[in-house]
Structure 1
């Protein structure tokens, strides 16, 4: 039990240290297009990726600038630091590449008329981050219990 508490304490301290050293500060002004009661209606057909990083220095790839604004509105309302736009190259240096310890929670995805089953959320995020190829999450159907091979 003591080792569990120590592990949790160390994880909390690491997260606090990462946020302090990242230079992120809570924004007191809302991001553009983020006003009380405003619902941002975004077009999911418009694929123009926005590469960004969060307060944990992790790469976040977002489908388009409208959804980026929407994500930052949600973060502002939650009192979280806003995502920072970065270049694709800078973001890809932050990609998670080791998913060996990730929970195996199958993710069914769609891109156009093609379906793909990733073995975990981590593998899905890793693929998106490394390739910039956005696959929409479709859990649980149409993949169901029969995984669809993603790439040959």
Structure 2
């Protein structure tokens, strides 16, 4: 009788564990719009506890859609003042480097991509938040090409 009890208990534990890992994630967000990275109308949001700046509402919406499809919590926009209170204050100085992309429009109206290397992603997030500068996409590992 004790072997049967242990077997039943083990099965119950396995069922509980498997159902706990299953999420109800519909992945129902479709991105149809192509966003211009050069259109600047900053959107501020607190993402995973820290402030993040997005170049415009289209890029913010696109990232939100990607988050929904990855079963991550939806982002909500906030004011620059509220967001800047959540800028990262202290970052480690170690890392192998990350390359961030910035879309800018020159004074003569030409659109250009600028790249900047940071020691790590924390320093990139701190720089973007404190200066109100949005980086486009996810940073890549390593130094930027020259």
Shorter-chain TM-score: what band? 0.5 to 0.7
> Which residue does the alignment assign to 1:80?
72
Q: Would the alpha carbon gap of residues 110 and 83 (structure 1) be closer, same or farther in structure 2, given more than 3 Å must change?
A: closer
Whole-angstrom CA distance in 1 between matches of 2:121 and 2:86: 17
> Which residue does the alignment assign to 1:133?
133
> Which residue does the alignment assign to 1:40?
33
Q: Which has the larger radius of gyration?
A: 2
Whole-angstrom CA distance in 1 between matches of 2:125 and 2:64: 19
Whole-angstrom CA distance in 1 between matches of 2:128 and 2:44: 11
Is the 8 Å Cα contact of residues 109 and 118 (structure 1) preserved in structure 2? no
- Quick one: higher RCO (CA 8 Å, sep 6+), 1 or 2? 2
CA-based RMSD:
3.1
Q: Which has the higher strand share?
A: 2
Q: What displacement does 1:65 show? A: 0.1
TM-score w.r.t. the length of structure 1 is 0.59
Whole-angstrom CA distance in 2 between matches of 1:73 and 1:141: 28
> Which residue does the alignment assign to 1:150?
none
Whole-angstrom CA distance in 2 between matches of 1:97 and 1:82: 24
Q: Which runs of 5+ in 1 are unaligned?
A: 1-25, 144-152
> Which residue does the alignment assign to 1:94?
86
Q: Determine if the alignment matches structure 1 residue 51 to structure 2 residue 44.
A: yes
> Which residue does the alignment assign to 1:3?
none
Q: Determine if the alignment matches structure 1 residue 142 to structure 2 residue 140.
A: no
Q: What displacement does 1:140 show? A: 4.9
Aligned residue for 1:123, secondary structure, equals helix
* Aligned residue pair count: 112
